[in-house]
A and B are shown apart, each in its own frame.
Chain A
Amino acid sequence: MITAIDTSVLLIIARKEPRWEKWRKALTKAASEGPLVVCCVVFGEFSLGYDSENLALERLHRLHIHYDPIRPETARMAYRDYLKVLPYRNPEPHMLPYFLIGAHATLQASRFAVDSRIDPRHYYPAAKLLQY
Protein backbone atom coordinates (compact mmCIF):
# COMPACT_ATOMS: atom_id res chain seq x y z
CA MET A 1 0.00 0.00 0.00
CA ILE A 2 1.65 3.21 -1.20
CA THR A 3 1.10 6.39 0.82
CA ALA A 4 1.61 9.77 -0.81
CA ILE A 5 2.49 12.60 1.56
CA ASP A 6 1.55 16.24 1.14
CA THR A 7 3.75 19.19 2.07
CA SER A 8 1.31 20.13 4.83
CA VAL A 9 2.03 16.92 6.76
CA LEU A 10 5.80 17.23 6.30
CA LEU A 11 5.59 20.81 7.56
CA ILE A 12 3.57 19.75 10.61
CA ILE A 13 6.19 17.16 11.55
CA ALA A 14 9.23 19.31 10.77
CA ARG A 15 7.82 22.25 12.75
CA LYS A 16 6.30 20.10 15.49
CA GLU A 17 2.98 21.83 15.06
CA PRO A 18 -0.07 20.65 17.04
CA ARG A 19 -1.08 17.15 15.89
CA TRP A 20 2.50 16.35 14.82
CA GLU A 21 2.66 13.34 17.10
CA LYS A 22 -0.53 11.92 15.63
CA TRP A 23 0.83 12.34 12.13
CA ARG A 24 4.18 10.87 13.13
CA LYS A 25 2.41 7.81 14.52
CA ALA A 26 0.18 7.47 11.46
CA LEU A 27 3.11 7.71 9.04
CA THR A 28 5.20 5.27 11.06
CA LYS A 29 2.35 2.78 10.78
CA ALA A 30 1.88 3.59 7.07
CA ALA A 31 5.61 2.99 6.46
CA SER A 32 5.24 -0.51 7.85
CA GLU A 33 2.43 -1.19 5.39
CA GLY A 34 4.11 0.06 2.23
CA PRO A 35 6.29 2.72 0.66
CA LEU A 36 5.92 6.40 1.50
CA VAL A 37 6.27 8.68 -1.52
CA VAL A 38 6.34 12.37 -2.35
CA CYS A 39 5.72 13.72 -5.83
CA CYS A 40 7.95 16.28 -7.50
CA VAL A 41 5.71 19.20 -6.43
CA VAL A 42 5.79 18.23 -2.75
CA PHE A 43 9.51 17.51 -2.92
CA GLY A 44 10.14 20.88 -4.58
CA GLU A 45 8.18 22.71 -1.89
CA PHE A 46 9.60 20.93 1.12
CA SER A 47 13.20 20.74 -0.13
CA LEU A 48 13.39 24.57 -0.16
CA GLY A 49 14.04 24.34 3.56
CA TYR A 50 17.28 22.42 3.03
CA ASP A 51 20.55 23.73 1.63
CA SER A 52 20.48 21.41 -1.34
CA GLU A 53 18.25 18.89 -3.06
CA ASN A 54 20.77 16.16 -2.21
CA LEU A 55 20.42 16.88 1.49
CA ALA A 56 16.62 16.84 1.15
CA LEU A 57 16.76 13.55 -0.73
CA GLU A 58 19.08 12.07 1.88
CA ARG A 59 16.82 13.13 4.76
CA LEU A 60 13.72 11.76 3.10
CA HIS A 61 15.52 8.59 2.06
CA ARG A 62 16.51 7.87 5.64
CA LEU A 63 12.81 8.02 6.52
CA HIS A 64 12.10 5.66 3.57
CA ILE A 65 10.19 8.44 1.81
CA HIS A 66 10.79 8.01 -1.91
CA TYR A 67 10.84 10.68 -4.57
CA ASP A 68 8.21 9.50 -7.04
CA PRO A 69 8.14 11.47 -10.32
CA ILE A 70 4.78 12.25 -11.86
CA ARG A 71 4.13 9.91 -14.79
CA PRO A 72 2.99 11.30 -18.16
CA GLU A 73 -0.58 10.02 -17.85
CA THR A 74 -0.87 11.50 -14.35
CA ALA A 75 0.37 14.89 -15.55
CA ARG A 76 -2.03 14.84 -18.45
CA MET A 77 -4.93 13.94 -16.17
CA ALA A 78 -4.08 16.66 -13.69
CA TYR A 79 -3.89 19.37 -16.31
CA ARG A 80 -7.11 18.24 -17.93
CA ASP A 81 -8.98 18.29 -14.60
CA TYR A 82 -7.51 21.72 -13.90
CA LEU A 83 -8.78 23.08 -17.23
CA LYS A 84 -12.19 21.54 -16.54
CA VAL A 85 -12.76 23.52 -13.35
CA LEU A 86 -11.09 26.72 -14.52
CA PRO A 87 -14.12 28.24 -16.30
CA TYR A 88 -16.28 27.84 -13.20
CA ARG A 89 -14.00 29.75 -10.85
CA ASN A 90 -12.03 32.93 -10.82
CA PRO A 91 -8.75 32.45 -12.66
CA GLU A 92 -6.50 30.81 -10.11
CA PRO A 93 -3.26 29.65 -11.72
CA HIS A 94 -1.92 28.56 -8.33
CA MET A 95 -4.51 25.75 -8.22
CA LEU A 96 -2.44 23.65 -10.61
CA PRO A 97 -0.11 22.25 -7.90
CA TYR A 98 -3.16 20.92 -6.03
CA PHE A 99 -4.31 19.05 -9.12
CA LEU A 100 -0.84 17.62 -9.78
CA ILE A 101 -0.50 16.45 -6.19
CA GLY A 102 -4.06 15.08 -6.15
CA ALA A 103 -3.65 13.20 -9.44
CA HIS A 104 -0.37 11.72 -8.21
CA ALA A 105 -2.01 10.57 -4.96
CA THR A 106 -4.95 9.09 -6.88
CA LEU A 107 -3.16 7.36 -9.71
CA GLN A 108 0.27 6.54 -8.33
CA ALA A 109 -0.53 5.85 -4.67
CA SER A 110 -3.15 4.04 -2.63
CA ARG A 111 -3.83 6.78 -0.08
CA PHE A 112 -2.93 10.33 0.70
CA ALA A 113 -1.67 11.98 3.88
CA VAL A 114 -2.85 15.59 3.82
CA ASP A 115 -3.84 18.12 6.46
CA SER A 116 -5.89 20.94 5.09
CA ARG A 117 -8.02 23.72 6.51
CA ILE A 118 -10.65 23.10 3.88
CA ASP A 119 -12.11 19.66 3.13
CA PRO A 120 -9.32 17.84 1.25
CA ARG A 121 -11.92 16.30 -1.04
CA HIS A 122 -12.37 19.74 -2.53
CA TYR A 123 -9.09 19.39 -4.40
CA TYR A 124 -8.53 15.64 -4.21
CA PRO A 125 -11.99 14.10 -4.75
CA ALA A 126 -10.86 10.61 -5.77
CA ALA A 127 -7.92 10.15 -3.40
CA LYS A 128 -8.33 7.91 -0.39
CA LEU A 129 -7.20 9.83 2.67
CA LEU A 130 -4.93 8.53 5.41
CA GLN A 131 -6.59 9.03 8.79
CA TYR A 132 -4.43 9.79 11.80
Chain B
Amino acid sequence: MTTQIPDTVVLCGHQLEVTRLACLPTEHPSITDVSQMPDGVRIRLPKCSALQRGYTAAWEIRDDGSLYLTSLTHGFRLNGPPLHADWVTSVVRIPVGEIDETRSRELRYELVRESALEFKVVEGMIRQWRLVKGFGKGIRWQPGFDWPKITAMMVAQGIASEFQPASYSHSDEFSIESLPIIARQSADLLRRAKLREPGVGKELSEDDWDMLHRGWADPFPKLDFHDAVRAFRGHGPPLTSAKP
Protein backbone atom coordinates (compact mmCIF):
# COMPACT_ATOMS: atom_id res chain seq x y z
CA MET B 1 0.00 0.00 0.00
CA THR B 2 1.31 3.44 -0.92
CA THR B 3 2.25 5.79 1.89
CA GLN B 4 -0.91 7.72 2.68
CA ILE B 5 -1.19 11.51 2.77
CA PRO B 6 -1.66 12.30 6.46
CA ASP B 7 -4.21 14.43 8.25
CA THR B 8 -2.83 17.38 10.16
CA VAL B 9 -3.60 18.28 13.75
CA VAL B 10 -2.69 21.49 15.54
CA LEU B 11 -2.03 20.47 19.12
CA CYS B 12 -1.91 23.56 21.32
CA GLY B 13 -0.13 25.50 18.57
CA HIS B 14 2.14 22.69 17.31
CA GLN B 15 1.33 21.35 13.86
CA LEU B 16 1.64 17.56 13.73
CA GLU B 17 0.77 14.85 11.23
CA VAL B 18 -1.31 11.74 11.82
CA THR B 19 -2.34 9.14 9.27
CA ARG B 20 -6.02 9.39 10.20
CA LEU B 21 -7.10 11.11 13.37
CA ALA B 22 -10.82 10.29 13.48
CA CYS B 23 -13.74 9.34 11.30
CA LEU B 24 -15.80 11.90 9.41
CA PRO B 25 -19.60 12.32 9.64
CA THR B 26 -20.22 12.63 5.93
CA GLU B 27 -23.93 13.34 6.49
CA HIS B 28 -23.25 16.36 8.72
CA PRO B 29 -24.93 19.53 7.32
CA SER B 30 -21.63 21.47 7.53
CA ILE B 31 -19.78 18.91 5.42
CA THR B 32 -20.25 18.81 1.65
CA ASP B 33 -19.44 15.84 -0.55
CA VAL B 34 -17.72 17.37 -3.58
CA SER B 35 -18.68 14.44 -5.81
CA GLN B 36 -22.40 15.04 -5.17
CA MET B 37 -23.80 17.65 -7.57
CA PRO B 38 -26.79 19.82 -6.50
CA ASP B 39 -29.06 18.00 -8.96
CA GLY B 40 -28.29 14.68 -7.30
CA VAL B 41 -25.87 13.41 -9.94
CA ARG B 42 -22.62 11.93 -8.62
CA ILE B 43 -19.44 12.68 -10.51
CA ARG B 44 -16.39 10.48 -10.40
CA LEU B 45 -13.44 12.16 -8.78
CA PRO B 46 -9.94 11.14 -9.85
CA LYS B 47 -8.56 8.49 -7.53
CA CYS B 48 -5.18 8.56 -5.91
CA SER B 49 -3.42 5.57 -4.39
CA ALA B 50 -1.89 7.85 -1.75
CA LEU B 51 -5.34 8.93 -0.59
CA GLN B 52 -7.45 5.82 -0.20
CA ARG B 53 -9.90 7.50 2.18
CA GLY B 54 -10.59 10.20 -0.41
CA TYR B 55 -10.04 13.31 1.72
CA THR B 56 -7.59 14.99 4.06
CA ALA B 57 -8.73 16.66 7.24
CA ALA B 58 -7.18 19.33 9.42
CA TRP B 59 -7.95 19.09 13.12
CA GLU B 60 -7.22 21.21 16.13
CA ILE B 61 -6.91 20.31 19.81
CA ARG B 62 -7.35 23.41 21.92
CA ASP B 63 -5.94 24.23 25.35
CA ASP B 64 -9.13 23.05 27.09
CA GLY B 65 -8.85 19.61 25.42
CA SER B 66 -11.66 20.10 22.89
CA LEU B 67 -11.26 18.62 19.41
CA TYR B 68 -12.24 20.64 16.33
CA LEU B 69 -12.38 19.85 12.64
CA THR B 70 -10.97 22.96 10.94
CA SER B 71 -10.87 22.11 7.23
CA LEU B 72 -11.31 19.39 4.62
CA THR B 73 -9.74 19.00 1.18
CA HIS B 74 -10.11 16.74 -1.87
CA GLY B 75 -13.35 14.75 -1.62
CA PHE B 76 -15.12 16.87 1.02
CA ARG B 77 -15.46 20.51 2.02
CA LEU B 78 -16.19 22.04 5.41
CA ASN B 79 -18.65 24.91 5.27
CA GLY B 80 -18.42 27.56 7.93
CA PRO B 81 -16.28 27.86 11.03
CA PRO B 82 -14.35 25.03 12.71
CA LEU B 83 -16.65 22.26 13.81
CA HIS B 84 -16.58 20.85 17.33
CA ALA B 85 -16.03 17.12 16.75
CA ASP B 86 -18.70 15.94 19.18
CA TRP B 87 -19.17 12.76 17.12
CA VAL B 88 -15.70 11.52 18.09
CA THR B 89 -15.65 9.05 21.00
CA SER B 90 -12.56 6.93 20.70
CA VAL B 91 -8.85 6.72 21.42
CA VAL B 92 -6.86 9.14 19.28
CA ARG B 93 -3.19 8.30 18.70
CA ILE B 94 -0.68 10.94 17.57
CA PRO B 95 2.83 9.63 16.84
CA VAL B 96 5.69 11.69 18.28
CA GLY B 97 9.46 11.37 18.53
CA GLU B 98 12.06 10.15 16.13
CA ILE B 99 11.06 8.15 13.04
CA ASP B 100 11.50 4.40 13.43
CA GLU B 101 12.95 3.71 9.97
CA THR B 102 12.79 -0.08 10.26
CA ARG B 103 9.15 -0.30 11.29
CA SER B 104 8.17 2.43 8.83
CA ARG B 105 9.69 0.40 6.00
CA GLU B 106 7.83 -2.71 7.19
CA LEU B 107 4.49 -0.95 7.47
CA ARG B 108 5.00 1.10 4.29
CA TYR B 109 1.77 3.11 4.34
CA GLU B 110 2.62 5.38 7.29
CA LEU B 111 5.60 6.69 9.22
CA VAL B 112 6.12 4.96 12.57
CA ARG B 113 7.63 7.01 15.38
CA GLU B 114 9.21 5.89 18.64
CA SER B 115 6.35 7.10 20.88
CA ALA B 116 2.77 8.22 20.66
CA LEU B 117 0.46 10.52 22.51
CA GLU B 118 -2.84 8.78 23.15
CA PHE B 119 -6.01 10.61 24.07
CA LYS B 120 -9.31 9.12 25.20
CA VAL B 121 -11.85 11.40 23.55
CA VAL B 122 -15.50 11.42 24.63
CA GLU B 123 -17.87 13.46 22.45
CA GLY B 124 -15.07 15.69 21.20
CA MET B 125 -13.47 16.32 24.61
CA ILE B 126 -10.24 14.75 25.82
CA ARG B 127 -10.87 12.95 29.11
CA GLN B 128 -7.58 11.07 29.60
CA TRP B 129 -4.11 10.98 28.09
CA ARG B 130 -0.90 8.99 28.19
CA LEU B 131 2.49 8.97 26.50
CA VAL B 132 3.35 5.49 25.26
CA LYS B 133 6.29 3.72 23.72
CA GLY B 134 5.38 0.85 21.42
CA PHE B 135 1.90 -0.48 22.19
CA GLY B 136 1.60 1.14 25.62
CA LYS B 137 0.80 -1.98 27.59
CA GLY B 138 0.64 -1.24 31.30
CA ILE B 139 1.05 2.54 31.00
CA ARG B 140 -1.45 4.34 33.18
CA TRP B 141 -3.91 6.87 31.80
CA GLN B 142 -3.69 10.37 33.28
CA PRO B 143 -6.92 12.27 33.88
CA GLY B 144 -7.89 15.39 31.95
CA PHE B 145 -5.82 17.21 29.35
CA ASP B 146 -2.73 18.62 30.97
CA TRP B 147 -0.63 20.16 28.19
CA PRO B 148 2.25 21.49 30.37
CA LYS B 149 2.59 18.05 31.96
CA ILE B 150 2.47 16.35 28.55
CA THR B 151 5.25 18.55 27.18
CA ALA B 152 7.33 18.11 30.34
CA MET B 153 7.01 14.32 30.07
CA MET B 154 8.00 14.39 26.42
CA VAL B 155 11.08 16.49 27.22
CA ALA B 156 11.91 14.12 30.08
CA GLN B 157 11.77 11.18 27.65
CA GLY B 158 14.14 12.91 25.25
CA ILE B 159 11.56 13.67 22.58
CA ALA B 160 12.75 16.59 20.49
CA SER B 161 11.19 19.98 21.01
CA GLU B 162 9.39 19.92 17.64
CA PHE B 163 7.70 16.58 18.61
CA GLN B 164 7.78 15.16 15.07
CA PRO B 165 11.33 15.76 13.83
CA ALA B 166 12.26 14.90 10.27
CA SER B 167 14.68 12.04 9.87
CA TYR B 168 18.30 13.02 10.31
CA SER B 169 20.01 13.23 6.95
CA HIS B 170 23.41 14.05 5.60
CA SER B 171 23.52 16.66 2.92
CA ASP B 172 26.31 17.54 0.56
CA GLU B 173 25.08 21.09 0.42
CA PHE B 174 26.54 22.64 3.53
CA SER B 175 25.67 26.29 3.99
CA ILE B 176 25.78 28.87 6.73
CA GLU B 177 21.95 28.86 6.77
CA SER B 178 21.86 25.19 7.67
CA LEU B 179 24.02 25.66 10.78
CA PRO B 180 21.15 26.21 13.25
CA ILE B 181 19.41 23.06 11.97
CA ILE B 182 22.60 21.02 12.26
CA ALA B 183 23.22 22.41 15.77
CA ARG B 184 19.67 21.55 16.85
CA GLN B 185 19.86 18.05 15.40
CA SER B 186 23.24 17.49 17.07
CA ALA B 187 21.89 18.68 20.42
CA ASP B 188 18.90 16.35 20.08
CA LEU B 189 21.11 13.40 19.20
CA LEU B 190 23.45 14.11 22.11
CA ARG B 191 20.60 14.40 24.59
CA ARG B 192 19.06 11.16 23.40
CA ALA B 193 22.38 9.36 23.44
CA LYS B 194 22.93 10.49 27.02
CA LEU B 195 19.53 9.11 28.05
CA ARG B 196 20.20 5.74 26.42
CA GLU B 197 23.90 5.49 27.18
CA PRO B 198 24.66 1.86 27.94
CA GLY B 199 26.95 1.09 30.80
CA VAL B 200 26.04 4.27 32.63
CA GLY B 201 25.17 2.14 35.63
CA LYS B 202 27.79 1.59 38.31
CA GLU B 203 28.85 -1.57 39.98
CA LEU B 204 28.21 -1.33 43.70
CA SER B 205 28.73 -4.02 46.25
CA GLU B 206 26.18 -4.39 49.00
CA ASP B 207 28.83 -3.52 51.60
CA ASP B 208 29.29 -0.11 49.98
CA TRP B 209 26.01 0.98 51.52
CA ASP B 210 27.62 1.07 54.97
CA MET B 211 29.20 4.29 53.71
CA LEU B 212 25.86 6.01 54.24
CA HIS B 213 26.03 5.43 57.96
CA ARG B 214 29.51 6.87 58.53
CA GLY B 215 29.40 10.36 60.02
CA TRP B 216 25.61 10.39 59.95
CA ALA B 217 23.76 11.31 63.13
CA ASP B 218 20.06 10.56 63.10
CA PRO B 219 18.16 13.88 63.45
CA PHE B 220 15.09 12.08 64.87
CA PRO B 221 16.47 9.04 66.70
CA LYS B 222 13.33 8.50 68.76
CA LEU B 223 10.94 8.37 65.83
CA ASP B 224 10.39 5.46 63.51
CA PHE B 225 11.42 6.22 59.95
CA HIS B 226 7.88 6.96 58.72
CA ASP B 227 7.45 9.58 61.40
CA ALA B 228 10.98 10.87 60.82
CA VAL B 229 10.07 11.53 57.18
CA ARG B 230 6.88 13.27 58.31
CA ALA B 231 8.89 15.34 60.78
CA PHE B 232 11.32 16.37 58.02
CA ARG B 233 8.35 17.60 56.00
CA GLY B 234 6.90 19.79 58.70
CA HIS B 235 4.09 17.60 59.98
CA GLY B 236 2.95 18.14 63.53
CA PRO B 237 3.35 15.60 66.32
CA PRO B 238 4.08 12.10 65.01
CA LEU B 239 1.13 9.79 64.60
CA THR B 240 2.68 6.78 66.26
CA SER B 241 4.57 6.32 69.45
CA ALA B 242 8.32 6.75 69.62
CA LYS B 243 10.66 4.06 68.40
CA PRO B 244 11.32 1.45 71.10
Contacts and interface: CB of A to CB of B under 8 A. Distances in A.
Nearest to A49: B216
B202 A73 contact: no
Nearest to B217: A49
A117 interface: yes
Given A25-B206, A27-B209, A98 B219 contact: no
A16 B209 CA distance: 10
B200 A76 contact: no
B225 A17 contact: yes
Nearest to A30: B201
A50 B216 contact: yes
A15 B213 CA distance: 7
Residues of A in contact with B, size category:
35 or more
B236 to A, nearest CB: 9
B201 A8 contact: no
Interface in B121-140: 140
Contacts of A7: 229, 232
A8 B214 contact: no
Interface stretch (B19-27, B43-51, B146-154, B160-168): B146-154
Interface of B: 140, 142, 148-149, 151-153, 155-156, 200-206, 208-209, 211-219, 224-226, 228-229, 232-235
Given A11-B225, A25-B206, A49-B217, 18 more contacts: A8-B225, A8-B229, A11-B229, A13-B209, A14-B213, A31-B203, A32-B202, A32-B204, A34-B200, A49-B219, A50-B216, A62-B211, A64-B202, A76-B148, A77-B152, A106-B153, A107-B152, A117-B226
